[in-house]
Amino acid sequence: MSPSSDYPSIPVSPRHLTGDGPGLREFVDKYSSSIAMVGVLWSGDHLFPGTVETLDLLRGKGKRVVFVTNNSTKSRADYTKKLESLGIPATPEEIFSSSYSSSIYISRILNLPPQKRKVFVIGESGIEQELQSESIPFIGGTDPSYRRDIKPEDYKAIAAGDSSLLDPEVGVVLVGLDFHFNYLKLALAYHYIQRGAVFLATNIDSTLPNSGALFPGAGTMSAPLIMMLGKDPVALGKPSQAMMDAIEGKFQFDRKRACMVGDRANTDIRFGLEGQLGGTLAVLTGVSTKEDILGGPVRPSAYLDRLSDLLGLRQEAEAGH
């Protein structure tokens, strides 16, 4: 894949803005909105130092900040609480999660037949809350009756399409990160899709950072189904442009005056580039390394060692520029 053909606006060499006051000011002045992946703010339960001050600085300069996350396990309300608990003022309207994006897609874009409007959920309560917010009926999810072993009689019931196990109204299987994923849920999801349900994923990230290490991401819940079915789900998280369209529909921002801020080249930065945002800014506190940013096929306009390097703008201001 040649970057120049797929991403015509990518510079050959992303600009390193850490410690470059004038460069920072020039870069930040170009944008009125920033779409920040929440992964640049914290890792696990650890807020990166200087995050609050950095967001204050951007908001003080009149920049609108939208927090985007592929994490489907929390709802927008949950995320607002999480941000506030870390000292970051936020409202649910500033937050865009893959579970919300999925709910919007199901309710407003998928044209489901009247008797096929139910969603079989593999995932946690964040998905359930966002489905409820769009009045979409669902089964599965955190329902404890699915947290059990498969029994010999289940095979026969599933094979026969027994409505005690396979709800005939299910028209969508939505797969997100589920810490209670099991064989029964996988078997049911497979059979629903084989019987015609739409295969959706909140996101397909293979890994989830926590405590400085990587753990199985939402994509690992779809991986068995992809192998069995020989087809991919429609993914509603970044880098799917379905998510960017939903963000734009909601916030009515000018893409050319928006900057994507993220820590993963092939999802966050790709999301911004394919969405033709004015700029993309990578931070090196997450998954992608400097080598990925400088040498990989997907390159941002600029990069910082850490998000709080934006505080260099303060010194720039104090120095009278």
DSSP 185-243: HHHHHHHHHHTT-EEEES---SEEEETTEEEE-THHHHHHHHHHHSSPPEE-STT-HHH
Asked whether position 215 contacts a copy of itself by CB under 8 A, the answer is: yes
Residues 41-60, interacting with a copy of itself (CB under 8 A): 44
Asked whether position 196 contacts a copy of itself by CB under 8 A, the answer is: no
Tokens describing residue 78: 């949950």
CB of 203 to a copy of itself, least distance (A): 13
CB of 139 to a copy of itself, least distance (A): 19
263 labelled binding-site residue: yes
Asked whether position 186 contacts a copy of itself by CB under 8 A, the answer is: yes
Q: How many residues can be counted in the chain?
A: 321
User: Could you tell me which of 101, 105, 110 has the C-alpha nearest to residue 71?
Assistant: 101
Tokens describing residue 32: 């009125």
Asked whether position 165 contacts a copy of itself by CB under 8 A, the answer is: no
Q: Which of 23, 216, 296, 297 binds a copy of itself (CB under 8 A)?
A: 216
Asked whether position 155 contacts a copy of itself by CB under 8 A, the answer is: yes
User: Is residue 91 a contact partner of residue 80, using CB atoms and an 8 Å limit?
Assistant: yes
Asked whether position 183 contacts a copy of itself by CB under 8 A, the answer is: yes
Asked whether position 226 contacts a copy of itself by CB under 8 A, the answer is: yes
- C-beta pairs of 213-217 under 8 Å, 24+ apart in sequence: 214/287, 217/177
Asked whether position 127 contacts a copy of itself by CB under 8 A, the answer is: no
User: Is residue 254 a contact partner of residue 274, using CB atoms and an 8 Å limit?
Assistant: no
245: exposed, middle or buried (Cβ count in 10 Å: 0-12, 13-18, 19+)? middle
CB of 165 to a copy of itself, least distance (A): 12
Helices and strands in the chain, H and E counts? 13, 16
Based on CB atoms, which residue is closest to a copy of itself, 46 or 256? 46
Q: Which of 118, 191, 264, 270 binds a copy of itself (CB under 8 A)?
A: 191
Asked whether position 1 contacts a copy of itself by CB under 8 A, the answer is: no
Return the amino acid letter for 77.
Answer: A
User: Could you tell me which of 227, 220, 239 has the C-alpha nearest to residue 122?
Assistant: 220
d(CA 120, CA 290): 40
Residues 2-41, interacting with a copy of itself (CB under 8 A): none
Q: Which of 68, 201, 221, 304 binds a copy of itself (CB under 8 A)?
A: 221
34: exposed, middle or buried (Cβ count in 10 Å: 0-12, 13-18, 19+)? buried
Asked whether position 251 contacts a copy of itself by CB under 8 A, the answer is: no
Based on CB atoms, which residue is closest to a copy of itself, 3 or 216? 216
Based on CB atoms, which residue is closest to a copy of itself, 9 or 85? 85
For a copy of itself, the binding residues (CB under 8 A) are 44, 149-150, 155-156, 158-160, 178-183, 186-187, 190-191, 194, 206-207, 210-217, 219-221, 223-224, 226-228
Annotated binding site: 238, 263
Annotated binding site for Mg(2+): 263
Annotated binding site for substrate: 238
